[in-house]
A and B are shown apart, each in its own frame.
Chain A
Amino acid sequence: MENFFDLVPLVVLFPLIGLLINLFAGKQLGERGVSIVAVGASAMALLVSIVLWLAQVDTGFGAVVVDAPLLGTWIDIPSAGVEIGWQFRVDTLSVTMMLVVTGVGTLIHLYAVGYMHGDEGFPRFFVYMNLFLVFMLVLVSGNNFLMMFVGWEGVGLCSYLLIGFWFDKPGDEGWKNSDAARKAFIVNRIGDFGLILGVLLTFWTFGTLDYYVPDEEPIPYHHAEHEAEPLFTPDITGVDGAESHAVSGPMGVFNQAETWLTEGDHRVEFGTVSIKFEHMLTVITLLFLLGATGKSAQIPLFIWLPDAMAGPTPVSALIHAATMVTAGVYMMVRANVFYHASETTSFVVTMIGATTALVAGFIALGQWDIKRVLAYSTVSQLGFMVTAVGVGAYTAAMFHLVTHACFKALLFLGSGSVIHGLEHGHHHVAHGEHDHDDGFDPQDMRFMGGLRHKMPLTYWTYLVGTLALAGIIPFAGFWSKDEILVDSLKLGLDDGRLDGYLGFGMLLAAAAFTAFYMWRQVSMVFYGEPRHAAAEHAGESAPVMVWPLMGLAFLSAVIGLINVPSGFPVLGWLYGEHQFANWLEESVTYAHGGEFNWLLATIAVALALAAIYVARTIYNDRAITDLERDPLERLSPRLAQAFALSNAKLYWDEVYFAFVVHPYRRAAYTLAERVDWYWWHDFVHERVIYGTFNRVTRLLTDVLDLKIIDRAFLRSAEAVRVAASRIRRIQTGYVRTYALSVLFGALLVTIIILYPVLRDLLGI
């Protein structure tokens, strides 16, 4: 089945064809045609991904590098030895990402057909969505950092386009949408700046950007606690780890790094400075981390993601929950060799991830907007993944990425279904009335309530997603979250690393927050009595929207079984232990399977259940009327304060405004007003340049031109005139005068001619 690997360009090509068809013929095709093309393109990409997956299994997880047809070498500077190709890499990691992107992507495309029904920009929407798939798949399937960067920027562009998709809505709403889009783009640029610097430093250090060159095998890592079968490195002879691997020929960055790390004291020449290779790696990984904090919405750059919910809900589900925002995690897992080598970076990564998880989880507690809760939840869960990278649990990070993609896409699509139902209900109620504007907001949970009877399918699927996110056994979230917790605690216990303990503690608290805010949301949306006429008249969404919900609910329920930890009773024996870890290990050097810890699992689940119980007692039975205070606020003044803090998003945006945006604006204003206008324009241009020029030209006209050149010409003209007036008198006009002068002239000539004769004659 090795030939099937050559199909990998198709995974990008199908969405590309789909988007081109819809771009040029979208208006003619109509909604039906556009849907078929877009969903078909995504489904074909999914099919290719599945074929690649099966081919991987069949060939024993062999990694393959495939040249992109027709594109050839991208950057080729022979004199500098630079050669960067358009190459796809098919290995277990990239295939995992492809499956997630195309799988979740296809379901969301399908859902969007129903969600976007009747929208004016229907074809445009699907063009952007397919474009997103193209770039996301380039990002995950490239074999070098530059292709990843191309995809990285491309998905950022699509994110911008889709957040601001409704930029043309009337009034403030259009502005709000385009503002959110710009905020996302600008904040992401900060991260992208870090990434490109990291990529450039990588190139400087290694002279190449390829992960692995074709036919090169990753130097395997000797797992102390877990013996992996070295499936495609049969030449291992040593037993003490990686020392015994002599790799000859050109190497990709990771094997080169591994080799230098093993050899020790390699130095990187940087101008006149020589830097220890390990320190170089720390710098590179920190710059990569900056990129990840932008794209994966981590502190300090997470602020764009909640605003990104201005986009249509399928976009929130696909780009801002399931796939694009996990690009940072994918990138760090891809660079696991680098991250493993730098303890400093690991510490920073863990702290950033865990803090983000905790902070975003806290903020999610106090939000009214159904999508905003999910947005902060996404930030929080991304924090979990980043923490996992920090503690070296690359499998757990990818595992959580996969499960999170399923259940968070489910929750977003569910919330979209709720919003759709509510808008429908509102339309029904407001029909015939003149006054549409009664402060109703279809995304505000205070206007909901009691929807479980109106939208039963949405309710049940939403419940599955909630339980999965809260980490209740046996839903997907339990397995992945548990593995992250175990791995971070293990880092603390085994290696005595502080970041392990800290990460573990913060994540545990974040997990409790997660369960609480999710149940708060379920209570406010689905339980109790309808609090608004719109909620009373809400109806279940169209089948094309409900089917993807059910598909994702199924995945959210069972996908955790792909990586049952070792030591778990029955299931491990039934499905095999850490299958996903074994699969991932083939391409992620430092991936390892997780263990099961009864005590920890019990504590985590108990904590989640307790949080759900508390949320249930607070929210389920209490009526929340419009714009009244949250039930939490009524419990005690201290809780009210905490809620207010959470509701205000910890004043994070305000702090940025006070310390970054306003100073920036003031500086920009000062520069514009003082430096550009007063100094540059008024002084330099007006006075120095324009003034000097003026003075010089005045000097030239007044002195040189008028006084010297002009006068010289005038004088000479005058002289000619005067001379002429004098000479003119000779001309009397009398013929006889002329005759006389002719006679004199003739006499004169005669005398001159006869002069010698006359001289002799007179004896002179």
Chain B
Amino acid sequence: MEASEVSIELYVLLSAVLFAMGALGFLIRRNAILIFMSVELMLNSANLALAAFARQWGNADGHLMVFFVMTVAAAEVAVGLALIVAIFKTKKSTNIDDLHMFKD
């Protein structure tokens, strides 16, 4: 482990950059699938941070948490993609700005 010792700061920085990219994508993109991908990016940035801290402290709790997040993300993808398919069938579009029928 001594060969390539990367400091914790870099991990956290990468995680923050990834999270910012995800959040930005989430807010800016209009395509539902891309928004979805942005969400996945944010989740994975959190996973990265969790895994980094776990290694830092030698504690398995972080790893455990990562697995949970991955499981939830998988479930979320299953439901979310099904929803997007259903919406596309009726709206013929995945543009998120077209979906405001509950408002009117």
Q: Which residues of A contact B (CB under 8 A)?
A: 731-736, 739-740, 743
Given contacts A732-B100, A733-B102, A735-B96, 18 further A-B contacts (CB under 8 A): A731-B103, A732-B103, A733-B100, A733-B103, A734-B96, A734-B97, A734-B100, A735-B35, A735-B97, A736-B27, A736-B30, A736-B96, A736-B97, A739-B26, A739-B27, A740-B27, A743-B23, A743-B27
| Chain B 90-104 interface mask (CB, 8 Å, partner A; 1/0) | 000000110110111
Residue of A nearest to B96 (CB): A735
Q: Are A735 and B99 in contact (CB under 8 A)?
A: yes
The 5 closest A-B pairs by CB, nearest first: A733-B100, A733-B103, A735-B96, A739-B26, A740-B27
Q: Which residues of B contact A (CB under 8 A)?
A: 23, 26-27, 30, 35, 96-97, 99-100, 102-104
Task: Give the distance in Å from the alpha carbon of A579 to the alpha carbon of B102 in the complex.
Answer: 124
When A and B form their complex, what is the total count of cross-chain residue pairs whose Cβ atoms lie within 8 Å? 25
Task: Give the distance in Å from the alpha carbon of A732 to the alpha carbon of B96 in the complex.
Answer: 13
Task: Provide the residues of chain B in CB contact with A731, threshold 8 Å.
Answer: 103
Task: Provide the residues of chain B in CB contact with A743, threshold 8 Å.
Answer: 23, 26-27
Contact among A733, A735, A740 for B104, CB-based, below 8 A: A733
Task: Give the distance in Å from the alpha carbon of A735 to the alpha carbon of B96 in the complex.
Answer: 7
Task: Provide the residues of chain B in CB contact with A740, threshold 8 Å.
Answer: 27
Residue of A nearest to B97 (CB): A734
Task: Give the distance in Å from the alpha carbon of A736 to the alpha carbon of B100 in the complex.
Answer: 11
Task: Provide the residues of chain A in CB contact with B99, threshold 8 Å.
Answer: 733, 735
Task: Give the distance in Å from the alpha carbon of A736 to the alpha carbon of B26 in the complex.
Answer: 8
Task: Give the distance in Å from the alpha carbon of A732 to the alpha carbon of B99 in the complex.
Answer: 11
Task: Give the distance in Å from the alpha carbon of A34 to the alpha carbon of B29 in the complex.
Answer: 119
Task: Give the distance in Å from the alpha carbon of A731 to the alpha carbon of B102 in the complex.
Answer: 10
Q: In whole Å, how far is B33's beta carbon from the nearest beta carbon of chain A?
A: 13
A-B contacts, 19 listed (Cβ < 8 Å): A731-B103, A732-B100, A732-B103, A733-B100, A733-B104, A734-B96, A734-B97, A734-B100, A735-B35, A735-B99, A736-B27, A736-B30, A736-B96, A736-B97, A739-B26, A739-B27, A740-B27, A743-B26, A743-B27
Task: Give the distance in Å from the alpha carbon of A731 to the alpha carbon of B104 in the complex.
Answer: 10
Residue of A nearest to B103 (CB): A733
Q: In whole Å, how far is A126's beta carbon from the nearest beta carbon of chain B?
A: 97
Residue of B nearest to A743 (CB): B23
Task: Give the distance in Å from the alpha carbon of A739 to the alpha carbon of B102 in the complex.
Answer: 16
Task: Give the distance in Å from the alpha carbon of A733 to the alpha carbon of B101 in the complex.
Answer: 8
Task: Give the distance in Å from the alpha carbon of A734 to the alpha carbon of B35 in the complex.
Answer: 14
Task: Give the distance in Å from the alpha carbon of A254 to the alpha carbon of B75 in the complex.
Answer: 117
Task: Provide the residues of chain B in CB contact with A739, threshold 8 Å.
Answer: 26-27
Task: Provide the residues of chain A in CB contact with B23, threshold 8 Å.
Answer: 743
Task: Give the distance in Å from the alpha carbon of A407 to the alpha carbon of B88 in the complex.
Answer: 128
Task: Give the distance in Å from the alpha carbon of A740 to the alpha carbon of B35 in the complex.
Answer: 13
Task: Provide the residues of chain A in CB contact with B96, threshold 8 Å.
Answer: 734-736
Task: Give the distance in Å from the alpha carbon of A743 to the alpha carbon of B28 in the complex.
Answer: 13
Q: In whole Å, how far is B15's beta carbon from the nearest beta carbon of chain A?
A: 15
Residue of B nearest to A728 (CB): B103
Task: Provide the residues of chain A in CB contact with B103, threshold 8 Å.
Answer: 731-733
Task: Give the distance in Å from the alpha carbon of A743 to the alpha carbon of B30 in the complex.
Answer: 17
Task: Provide the residues of chain A in CB contact with B35, threshold 8 Å.
Answer: 735
Residue of B nearest to A742 (CB): B26
Task: Give the distance in Å from the alpha carbon of A506 to the alpha carbon of B102 in the complex.
Answer: 119
Q: In whole Å, how far is B86's beta carbon from the nearest beta carbon of chain A?
A: 16
Task: Give the distance in Å from the alpha carbon of A735 to the alpha carbon of B31 in the complex.
Answer: 11
Task: Provide the residues of chain A in CB contact with B27, threshold 8 Å.
Answer: 736, 739-740, 743
Task: Provide the residues of chain B in CB contact with A734, threshold 8 Å.
Answer: 96-97, 100
Residue of B nearest to A747 (CB): B23
Task: Give the distance in Å from the alpha carbon of A743 to the alpha carbon of B35 in the complex.
Answer: 14
Residue of B nearest to A736 (CB): B27
Task: Provide the residues of chain A in CB contact with B104, threshold 8 Å.
Answer: 733
Q: In whole Å, how far is B88's beta carbon from the nearest beta carbon of chain A?
A: 15
Q: In whole Å, how far is A745's beta carbon from the nearest beta carbon of chain B?
A: 13
Task: Give the distance in Å from the alpha carbon of A733 to the alpha carbon of B97 in the complex.
Answer: 8
Q: In whole Å, how far is B102's beta carbon from the nearest beta carbon of chain A?
A: 7
Task: Give the distance in Å from the alpha carbon of A401 to the alpha carbon of B27 in the complex.
Answer: 130
Q: In whole Å, how far is B96's beta carbon from the nearest beta carbon of chain A?
A: 5
Q: In whole Å, how far is A3's beta carbon from the nearest beta carbon of chain B?
A: 111
Task: Give the distance in Å from the alpha carbon of A106 to the alpha carbon of B96 in the complex.
Answer: 120
Q: In whole Å, how far is A740's beta carbon from the nearest beta carbon of chain B?
A: 6
Task: Provide the residues of chain A in CB contact with B100, threshold 8 Å.
Answer: 732-734
Task: Provide the residues of chain B in CB contact with A732, threshold 8 Å.
Answer: 100, 103
Task: Give the distance in Å from the alpha carbon of A746 to the alpha carbon of B6 in the complex.
Answer: 30
Residue of A nearest to B100 (CB): A733
Q: In whole Å, how far is B25's beta carbon from the nearest beta carbon of chain A?
A: 11
Residue of A nearest to B30 (CB): A736
Task: Give the distance in Å from the alpha carbon of A585 to the alpha carbon of B100 in the complex.
Answer: 123
Residue of A nearest to B29 (CB): A736
Q: In whole Å, how far is A731's beta carbon from the nearest beta carbon of chain B?
A: 6
Q: In whole Å, how far is B104's beta carbon from the nearest beta carbon of chain A?
A: 7
Q: In whole Å, how far is B80's beta carbon from the nearest beta carbon of chain A?
A: 13
Q: In whole Å, how far is B81's beta carbon from the nearest beta carbon of chain A?
A: 16
Task: Give the distance in Å from the alpha carbon of A735 to the alpha carbon of B103 in the complex.
Answer: 11
Task: Give the distance in Å from the alpha carbon of A734 to the alpha carbon of B95 in the complex.
Answer: 11
Task: Give the distance in Å from the alpha carbon of A735 to the alpha carbon of B30 in the complex.
Answer: 9
Q: In whole Å, how far is B36's beta carbon from the nearest beta carbon of chain A?
A: 12
Task: Provide the residues of chain B in CB contact with A733, threshold 8 Å.
Answer: 99-100, 102-104
Q: In whole Å, how far is A751's beta carbon from the nearest beta carbon of chain B?
A: 16
Task: Provide the residues of chain A in CB contact with B30, threshold 8 Å.
Answer: 736
Task: Give the distance in Å from the alpha carbon of A80 to the alpha carbon of B103 in the complex.
Answer: 90
Q: In whole Å, how far is A734's beta carbon from the nearest beta carbon of chain B?
A: 6
Q: In whole Å, how far is B19's beta carbon from the nearest beta carbon of chain A?
A: 11
Q: In whole Å, how far is A737's beta carbon from the nearest beta carbon of chain B?
A: 10
Q: In whole Å, how far is A743's beta carbon from the nearest beta carbon of chain B?
A: 6
Task: Provide the residues of chain A in CB contact with B26, threshold 8 Å.
Answer: 739, 743
Q: In whole Å, how far is B99's beta carbon from the nearest beta carbon of chain A?
A: 6
Task: Give the distance in Å from the alpha carbon of A731 to the alpha carbon of B101 in the complex.
Answer: 12
Residue of B nearest to A746 (CB): B23
Q: In whole Å, how far is B23's beta carbon from the nearest beta carbon of chain A?
A: 6
Task: Give the distance in Å from the alpha carbon of A736 to the alpha carbon of B31 in the complex.
Answer: 11
Task: Give the distance in Å from the alpha carbon of A732 to the alpha carbon of B102 in the complex.
Answer: 10
Task: Give the distance in Å from the alpha carbon of A739 to the alpha carbon of B99 in the complex.
Answer: 14
Task: Provide the residues of chain B in CB contact with A736, threshold 8 Å.
Answer: 27, 30, 96-97
Residue of A nearest to B104 (CB): A733
Residue of A nearest to B99 (CB): A735
Task: Give the distance in Å from the alpha carbon of A736 to the alpha carbon of B28 in the complex.
Answer: 8
Q: In whole Å, how far is B55's beta carbon from the nearest beta carbon of chain A?
A: 22
Task: Give the distance in Å from the alpha carbon of A732 to the alpha carbon of B100 in the complex.
Answer: 8
Task: Give the distance in Å from the alpha carbon of A739 to the alpha carbon of B97 in the complex.
Answer: 12
Q: In whole Å, how far is B28's beta carbon from the nearest beta carbon of chain A?
A: 8
Residue of A nearest to B38 (CB): A739
Task: Give the distance in Å from the alpha carbon of A740 to the alpha carbon of B30 in the complex.
Answer: 13
Q: In whole Å, how far is B97's beta carbon from the nearest beta carbon of chain A?
A: 6
Q: In whole Å, how far is A669's beta carbon from the nearest beta carbon of chain B?
A: 80
Task: Provide the residues of chain A in CB contact with B102, threshold 8 Å.
Answer: 733
Task: Give the distance in Å from the alpha carbon of A129 to the alpha carbon of B98 in the complex.
Answer: 108
Task: Give the distance in Å from the alpha carbon of A156 to the alpha carbon of B7 in the complex.
Answer: 131
Residue of A nearest to B28 (CB): A736
